Copies of this chain bind each other. A is one copy, B any other.
Amino acid sequence: MGDNTLGTKFRITSFGESHGKVVGVVIDGTPAGLKIDLDYIQRELNTRKPGQSSFTTARKEQDRVEALSGIFNDRTTGAPICLIIKNQDVDSSNYESSKNLLRPSHADYVSLQKFGDFADFRGSGRFSGRITAGFVMAGAIAKQLLSKVNISILAYTKSVGNVEDNKDHSINDLEPLLQRRKKSPVGALDIEISKKMEKLIEITKKANDSVGGTIRCIINKLPPGIGGPIFNSLESNISKGVFSIPAVKGIEFGAGFRASRMKGSEHNDPWTIKNGEIKATKNDSGGIIGGISTGMPIVFTVAVKPTPSIGKIQKTVNIKTMEEDDIKIEGRHDPCIVPRAIVVVESIAAIVILDFLLIEGKIPSVLKD
C-alpha cells in the first residue's frame, strides 16, 4: 500500500503536483558514502524536461534539482534523501476553462470518483507525467550506485506508431548504444528508423493528434540468482514499477507476446558454456527464468499509449450539466510521449533492480571508495 511509495529496502516516496509548488521524491535506503553527482541527476532530468525539441510540449521548466536532505560533503549519509524541482511555467488557465468537461482517456473522471472534487486538477495534478521527474531523480541515484557494481541500463524507442526497430540490440556493452541514442531526437538507436519516427511525429502533431509507441529496456550485467519464484519475481516487481508510469499499458519480457505463438522447441533457450561460464545460447527468456535472473541481459518492452491530450475536437460529457458536449483541449502537449518516457523507464528499472540487490545483500550498507 501507500499510493506513493515504491520499494522495500531502496524505497522512494513521491510527492508534488504538476502545478503545485514542487515535484519531489524522498529516497530511503541509499547506502552511506555514495558520491553524488548532482550534475548527472540534472542531465538525466533534462532528457525528460519539456521543451527540448519540437516533438515535445512547449512548457518551459528549468527543472533544477535541489537536495533538501541526506547529502553531506557531496556524499550520501545513509539518511533519507529529499530531492525536489520547483514548478515555474505554471499556466493553469486552460485547465480552469474546461474544468467541467471530462477529457477522454484522461483521469478527470476517475479522479472525481476517487478524490471527489478536492484533487488539484491543475495540469492533471498527481496524474501528470511531470510526477515522473521524481522517479528520474531517484533513478539517477540508483544508477550511480548500480554503476559501482557494473550494472548498466539502457532504454530506447523501439517503435512509434507502426515504425518499428526490430533488431536485437541486447549486447554486452551498452556504451555504443548510448552514443547512437544521443544522435536521435526521439531516442532511437537506428538513424534511419529515427528519421521515420520523427517524420511520423511531425505529421501527427500537425494533425492535432498524438501517437503511441514502445520502449525497450536492457539491463546489463545483473548477476544470476537475483529475484525469486512467484510473488517476488523480477517480472512482478519490474512490472509493478513500470505500470506506475502514466500511459504505460503493456509490458513483456524477452519474447513476450511473441512467445505465446511459439513452440517450446523454438522458445527454449538451450544452455551452453562460454569462456567457462554457463550461458544461454539465446535470450528469448529476457534474462529471467522462474522469476530469477539468468545472468543474460534483462530485456523488457513497454507499450505506451498515445497522449490522450489532442487538439482534435472530441465527444465527451460535461460533469456539471451531465450533458454530452464537445471538447477541444488547449494547452501544450506532447504529440508522442515516448522519447521523454525513455529515461523514466530506465529509472524505474534502476530503482527496482537496486532494491533487489540491497535486499539480497549484494551491496553493502556503507560504501568504501
Contact = CB atoms under 8 A, between A and B. Distances in A.
B159 A270 contact: no
Summarize A's interface: helix, strand, loop or mixed.
mixed
A268 interface: yes
Nearest to A237: B240
A58 to B, nearest CB: 17
B32 A118 contact: yes
A364 interface: yes
A24 B259 contact: no
A161 interface: yes
A82 B26 CA distance: 10
Interface string A284-327: 11100111111100000001111111101011110100111000
Contacts of A223: 113
Contacts of A126: 77, 79, 229-230
A315 B281 contact: yes
A26 B22 CA distance: 13
Given A120-B77, A204-B263, A250-B251, A232 B3 contact: yes
Interface residues of A, number: 151
Contact of A252 (B111, B226, B303): B303
Given A77-B115, A79-B17, A259-B306, A249 B286 contact: yes
A166 interface: no
A211 interface: yes
Nearest to A128: B229
Given A230-B244, A250-B250, A310-B268, A209 B257 contact: no
Interface string A99-132: 0001011110111011110111000011100010
Contact of A322 (B8, B120, B273): B273
A51 interface: no
27 contacts: A3-B229, A4-B28, A5-B28, A5-B231, A14-B231, A20-B68, A72-B119, A78-B118, A107-B289, A109-B289, A113-B295, A114-B228, A126-B229, A131-B230, A212-B267, A214-B260, A233-B244, A235-B248, A243-B291, A249-B254, A252-B257, A264-B306, A267-B305, A268-B310, A270-B316, A271-B317, A358-B361
Contacts of A115: 32, 77-78, 366
Interface in A244-283: 244, 246, 248-257, 259-273, 276, 278, 280-281
A262 B224 contact: no
B32 A305 contact: no
Given A161-B261, A209-B264, 9 more contacts: A1-B8, A9-B359, A17-B70, A17-B72, A24-B68, A126-B230, A204-B263, A260-B304, A268-B306
Contacts of A366: 114-116, 118
Contacts of A263: 161, 204, 209-211, 306
